[in-house]
Amino acid sequence: MERTVILHADGKQRCPWPGLDPFYVAYHDEEWGVPEYDSRALFEKLILDGFQAGLSWITILRKRERFREVFDGFEPARIVQYGPEKVAALMADPGIVRNRAKVEGTIIAARLWLEIEEKQGFSHYLWDFLDGRPLQNTLRTTADVQAETPLSQKISKDLKARGFKFVGPTIVYAFMQAVGMVNDHLVDCFRYAECAELGKAGHPG
């Protein structure tokens, strides 16, 4: 019979995907599934999920601080100014994922983010797809977790139409899970109820 959750030494039941890695467990406990409404933070997570494509999330997570350093805290107004010399420097940095298409895609995304932020706010743009409230799933096993959904397909299609790169429906769904647009903690995980409670208020704006 498939285990739905892992019982940890602290007596808490958790989703199985972080295993027993303390670093990964902390991410699961403190960040994953928490509704995020800050536009800049949403930009950062979307970009990092794009860099994840073809890799594991733990790989990106372990490099996140270096990503933040070299990408100027993921401030779109700074990233949009990057030229060939900055791109070359990023491609030479072993502390990040050195993929030219993804680096250049980040610069494009920064420009698009600034346009959306000025018009309606990037956070509003994303959360409006859900009428400002997180979706609360009731998943019991990892087999119930979907790789993509009709909504992630819809958001992916819209992002691509605007010019964003590395925003396929699977990447977008992983993003939605991480930023709490959908609560995909298993129902027996102690964070399920906590994240559900955090999502009750909905988007503040």
Give 53-112 pLDDT, tens digit per residue.
888 999 999 999 999 999 999 999 999 999 999 999 999 999 999 999 999 999 999 999
Give 42-52 pLDDT, tens digit per residue.
999 999 999 99
- What is the number of domains present in the chain? 1
Q: Is 195 annotated as a binding residue?
A: no
Domain that holds residue 154: 6-198
Note whether residue 129 is domain-resident: yes
Note whether residue 33 is domain-resident: yes
Note whether residue 61 is domain-resident: yes
Note whether residue 204 is domain-resident: no
Q: What is the CATH number of the domain that holds 32?
A: 1.10.340.30
**Contact yes or no for 161/148 (Cβ under 8 A):** no
Amino acid, single-letter form, for residue 128 = D
Note whether residue 205 is domain-resident: no
The Cα–Cα gap between 202 and 204 comes to: 6
Model confidence at 2: pLDDT above 70: no
Note whether residue 59 is domain-resident: yes
pTM comes to: 0.95
Average pLDDT over residues 128-151: 95
Model confidence at 1: pLDDT above 60: no
Note whether residue 41 is domain-resident: yes
Backbone region of residue 74 per phi and psi (left: phi > 0; alpha: psi in -120 to 50; beta: other values): left
**Based on the number of CB atoms within 10 Å of its own CB, is 1 exposed (0-12), middle (13-18) or buried (19 or more)?**
exposed
Note whether residue 77 is domain-resident: yes
